[in-house]
A and B are shown apart, each in its own frame.
Chain A
């Protein structure tokens, strides 16, 4: 049997024997639907994350309101004698305590959690199924078995539960510890192959099942589409599903938690290290804990050296760098943070090394060295360059003082856009273009504005393109043919002028509609005619331009008109 080598030495004392025994016990008593989570704490028994799992809801670091929300939902789910299943969706970034919250509250309320486990697990862990080989082959099937498995689980869980509940109601009374909820927190990629089936399973369960189900969905900013796919709005509405969103933990929360744990663990973790970990974990307590564990094990190995360093107070640059690299979390930087660094670029105040002076005609190109490593910064922005560019473009003018600098900066952006719009070798060009944009913006800003608060705004670009599409589609529908650019710039504005007046006159004269018909020569126009006459005259009016100062008001008018149409 292959032993996960790194688990033991790093996390200390779990002897191999006890490890196995536990496993055996597990596989003996577990039905295949047993909680996946239950096993994990034993596997990683000594990792800090799990030693210091909170034991009561007062110890949770999660926001109090969220805890109350979850509790409230659970209580409500069991209090109502509703025969429809209740659904709850917990979302949030990784390591913010979604599962822990649920787990602890359930414990306090004496609720069992039944976790669905994806069947593929059994395949990979052959040794677990050795006693039950038929079991194993059963799962070694095609993807469709995955859905069957899920369905079966849901059905069994509900049926089993109903039977039990009837029993308990008769014998033990309402406060019996046999209340159960279902928990789904793994969504294997197969699920996306047949989303319809997944939705159907949920709907079916919603009709039949009688125990509440909780879904935990870990989502970062980049994968928010997952939630939309798995739980689209209409489905959520039909299932009457409530959603509680956990946000990433604030740094102070993480700091407090870490300090508490450091006290408990009786291992001296220097305060600045804890602060560093808390600062770099970006709201992920789990990773912070793991980092701390690792730091501690390491420092206990070479404690002497560390101690020495501390004693001498050698807080040299090198030492700090070493520490930083130790606990800084790898991965994408926070998007907003990166934007700020680019737009509000900081330069060193004095040159450290002697650079050869620039020739006189290039003196205006001289800049102090940047504080940031731009290449690294560019690499660490995890988002698509297209999006980064739009954000940069939308927000840069606020950070500039002089129009000359702005004109240079936007010149770079313009080059970047034409550079990135290539069909061949797109990835290469994208990287170059992003780097050009960032460096261009940093270079051209000669006088960074003071440190006033400037909110980062979402680019209007998306809204504008959406509006364009809507207008185009609307006009296509009304006119009945495609509209070239000349239509929008010439025909439409005049059409509005002409129609506006006509509406009044034609209404007063009340000419019968068919009179127009035979006069028409162009058949395309007949289409227009009928659509206009049949629909309300309002529909046809193009949105008006705000010739006066305030451009903002117009959007309100536009949407007003559009909404009216959707109602039809």
Chain B
């Protein structure tokens, strides 16, 4: 049984449920928040271009050798016409991976001349996490192989992509679906699945999903699995790690001491070991602890969070920065408590 998210993923451009605009084909830079449908659009576009052949996917492990003779293995998903890579897998050697791979693809020709297309497509995901070095390399590579290959870059935001790269691509923003969009899709899916979705529940789901369609569909399916005749007041299932993180936030508010910090660190490690993105951890933690803060503190703590999230991008050891944020919060919050206590006296 496949997930509804994947089952009802539109496969052609005309089937898209919202944002029906389409782009012609220079290099593309597709950006938008998670769960807005970037990938779906890319796949639909490719299908439009090359027909159903793009769906014959195969997995490949490609090996690259760095100048210092270190071997990197990167996994790619490819069809005859396109290849999809997440260059982040290569860590700081992403520059080499990008250059080598695009060169290989651009130079290789189809054996069957009938199957030869004008160009191939390279889909790079998570471009905003590329190092500056790799982005600059990408700029040169893009121009060099313009005739034989097109790039589609996917990113969450353009702010971390260098301007020269942005100007070489046609930027397509894929905004998150509006709540109405989400509700519409939810209803459509439930109709196809033959289940009854109360309107109120759909609205609640859409609210809870934070305009992330993937999340909304997953939640719907999880709820349905949990209790079928869907009730308007039914509890909406959340990912377990979010519950866990919320508990962590409450711990931070309830006790501020080095010992408490150690405990919280253990929990953060637990989350990290489940591959939860560190940015997400900071964001969700912030949201949780802000509930307990006064107006002025809110600003202070938020700026702290922003500062350490930035540090997170600069550094390499994630835990240092998350912990720094937590400790700073604890210190600020403790000071606040002491002050307010003194005032009460």
Q: What is the interface of chain A, defined by CB distance below 8 A to chain B?
A: 389-390, 393, 397-398, 400-404, 406-407, 409-411, 413-418, 420-421, 423, 460-461, 463-464, 467-468, 471-472, 476, 480-486, 488-491, 493-498, 501-502, 506, 516, 519-525, 527-529, 542-547, 551, 554
Binds A, one of B107-115, B236-244, B295-303: B236-244
Encode B309-340 as 1/0 by CB contact (under 8 A) with A: 00100111101110110011011001100000
Residue of B nearest to A413 (CB): B320
Encode B145-177 as 1/0 by CB contact (under 8 A) with A: 000000000000000000000000000000000
CA distance A327 to B331 in the complex (A): 47
B76 → chain A closest CB, angstroms: 8
Contacts of A497 in B (CB 8 A): 222, 225-226, 237
Residue of A nearest to B215 (CB): A490
Contacts of B34 in A (CB 8 A): 486, 490
Encode B34-51 as 1/0 by CB contact (under 8 A) with A: 110000000000000000
B324 touches A468 (CB 8 A): no
Q: What is the interface of chain B, defined by CB distance below 8 A to chain A?
A: 1-3, 5-7, 9, 11, 34-35, 55-57, 59, 75, 77, 84, 86, 89, 92, 125-126, 133, 212, 214-215, 218-219, 221-222, 225-226, 237, 239-241, 243-244, 247, 256-262, 265-267, 269-270, 272-277, 280, 308, 311, 314-317, 319-321, 323-324, 327-328, 330-331, 334-335
The 5 closest A-B pairs by CB, nearest first: A493-B239, A485-B277, A418-B314, A494-B218, A417-B315
Residue from A397, A418, A471, A521 in contact with B258 in the complex, judged by beta carbons closer than 8 Å: A397
SS class, residues of chain A in contact with chain B: helix
Contacts of B323 in A (CB 8 A): 393, 410, 414
A417 touches B316 (CB 8 A): yes
CA distance A401 to B274 in the complex (A): 31
Given contacts A389-B317, A522-B9, contact A545 B269 (CB under 8 A): no
Residue of B nearest to A393 (CB): B320
B218 touches A403 (CB 8 A): no
Contacts of A411 in B (CB 8 A): 324, 327-328
Given contacts A398-B262, A525-B2, contact A488 B225 (CB under 8 A): no
A525 touches B273 (CB 8 A): no
A417 touches B321 (CB 8 A): yes
A393 touches B319 (CB 8 A): yes
A487 → chain B closest CB, angstroms: 8
A475 → chain B closest CB, angstroms: 8
CA distance A546 to B274 in the complex (A): 12
B59 → chain A closest CB, angstroms: 6
Contacts of B274 in A (CB 8 A): 471, 488, 542-543, 545
A524 touches B327 (CB 8 A): no
A407 touches B270 (CB 8 A): no
5 A–B contacts from the bound complex (CB under 8 Å): A390-B317, A485-B126, A523-B55, A523-B57, A544-B240
Residue from B6, B75, B319 in contact with A525 in the complex, judged by beta carbons closer than 8 Å: B6
CA distance A468 to B276 in the complex (A): 9
Residue from B222, B317, B321 in contact with A461 in the complex, judged by beta carbons closer than 8 Å: B317
Residue from B9, B57, B125, B239 in contact with A484 in the complex, judged by beta carbons closer than 8 Å: B125
A406 touches B3 (CB 8 A): no
A464 touches B269 (CB 8 A): yes
Residue from B221, B244, B308 in contact with A498 in the complex, judged by beta carbons closer than 8 Å: B221
CA distance A248 to B244 in the complex (A): 46
Residue from B7, B247, B311, B315 in contact with A522 in the complex, judged by beta carbons closer than 8 Å: B7
A403 touches B133 (CB 8 A): no
CA distance A413 to B226 in the complex (A): 45
Given contacts A497-B222, A501-B225, A519-B7, contact A406 B258 (CB under 8 A): yes
A407 touches B35 (CB 8 A): no
B162 → chain A closest CB, angstroms: 16
B317 touches A494 (CB 8 A): no
Contacts of A525 in B (CB 8 A): 2-3, 6-7
B268 → chain A closest CB, angstroms: 10
Given contacts A482-B86, A486-B34, A543-B274, contact A414 B315 (CB under 8 A): yes
Contacts of A468 in B (CB 8 A): 272-273, 275
Contacts of A421 in B (CB 8 A): 314-316
B244 → chain A closest CB, angstroms: 5
Contacts of A418 in B (CB 8 A): 311, 314-315, 321
Given contacts A413-B320, A486-B34, contact A494 B222 (CB under 8 A): yes
Contacts of B237 in A (CB 8 A): 494, 497
Contacts of A397 in B (CB 8 A): 258-259, 261-262, 265
Contacts of B92 in A (CB 8 A): 423
Contacts of B260 in A (CB 8 A): 403
Given contacts A471-B274, A502-B1, contact A401 B324 (CB under 8 A): no
Given contacts A407-B328, A410-B327, A421-B316, contact A501 B226 (CB under 8 A): yes
Residue of B nearest to A532 (CB): B1
Contacts of B225 in A (CB 8 A): 497-498, 501-502
Given contacts A481-B77, A484-B86, contact A547 B258 (CB under 8 A): no
CA distance A401 to B237 in the complex (A): 40
Residue from A401, A409, A476, A488 in contact with B277 in the complex, judged by beta carbons closer than 8 Å: A488
Residue of B nearest to A522 (CB): B6
A438 → chain B closest CB, angstroms: 15
CA distance A275 to B34 in the complex (A): 67
Residue of A nearest to B239 (CB): A493
Contacts of A423 in B (CB 8 A): 92, 133
Contacts of A494 in B (CB 8 A): 3, 218-219, 221-222, 237, 239
Contacts of B218 in A (CB 8 A): 490-491, 494-495, 498
A498 touches B261 (CB 8 A): no
Given contacts A411-B328, A423-B92, A490-B215, contact A480 B314 (CB under 8 A): no
Given contacts A421-B314, A476-B75, A501-B225, contact A547 B247 (CB under 8 A): yes
CA distance A472 to B73 in the complex (A): 14
Given contacts A482-B86, A494-B218, A494-B222, contact A489 B277 (CB under 8 A): yes
B315 touches A407 (CB 8 A): no
Contacts of B226 in A (CB 8 A): 497, 501
Residue from A413, A485, A542, A554 in contact with B270 in the complex, judged by beta carbons closer than 8 Å: A554
CA distance A400 to B331 in the complex (A): 13
A472 touches B275 (CB 8 A): yes
A498 touches B317 (CB 8 A): no
B269 touches A485 (CB 8 A): no
Task: List 9 additional contacts besides A497-B225, A529-B2; criterion CB under 8 Å.
Answer: A403-B261, A485-B126, A493-B239, A493-B241, A494-B221, A524-B6, A524-B57, A528-B2, A547-B243
